[in-house]
Amino acid sequence: DSGVTQTPKHLITATGQRVTLRCSPRSGDLSVYWYQQSLDQGLQFLIQYYNGEERAKGNILERFSAQQFPDLHSELNLSSLELGDSALYFCASSVGGGEGEQYFGPGTRLTVT
């Protein structure tokens, strides 16, 4: 158990819908990272927040957005969902702003039908 929690574990929704994935980092970690793992691709970095501020951005679609709240938990919002958004979404956390190892949560499996 990494200490990072993610909810929900599974999510099934229809195209065009909007969902919110939630992540709570390890106690004391200030950075939260979001990754997408699709069937035919490796782990793709989406976005990083550090202590409430956006720190780095990857190939995150405009339909996706994220935020980190004062209690350091983070939410990833996915809207106008398409079939291709079906994937495993991981959240990870680290102590600092990006130097050390990252601790991964169990992931949220999103299925868009």
Partner 1 sequence: ILNVEQSPQSLHVQEGDSTNFTCSFPSSNFYALHWYRWETAKSPEALFVMTLNGDEKKKGRISATLNTKEGYSYLYIKGSQPEDSATYLCAFKGGATNKLIFGTGTLLAVQP
**Positions 37 through 66 that interact with partner 1 (CB under 8 A):** 41-45, 48, 55-56, 58
Site membership for partner 1, residue 71 (CB under 8 A): no
Helix (H), strand (E), coil (C) string for the chain: CCCCEEECCEEEECCCCCEEEEEECCCCCCEEEEEEECCCCCEEEEEEEECCEEEEECCCCCCEEEEECCCCCEEEEECCCCHHHCEEEEEEEECCCCCCCCEECCCEEEEEC
| Shortest CB 48 distance to partner 1, Å | 6
Assigned token pair, 21: 């994935």
* Binds partner 1 by CB under 8 A, chosen from 24, 33, 34, 78: 33
* Binds partner 1 by CB under 8 A, chosen from 68, 74, 93, 102: 102
Residue 30: C-alpha distances to residues 37, 88, 107, 110 (Å): 23, 23, 19, 26
Stretch that binds partner 1, among 11-19, 22-30, 67-75, 96-104 (CB under 8 A): 96-104
Stretch that binds partner 1, among 9-17, 20-28, 77-85, 104-112 (CB under 8 A): 104-112
Site membership for partner 1, residue 8 (CB under 8 A): no
Interaction site with partner 1 (CB under 8 A)? 2, 4, 33, 41-45, 48, 55-56, 58, 90, 92, 97-107
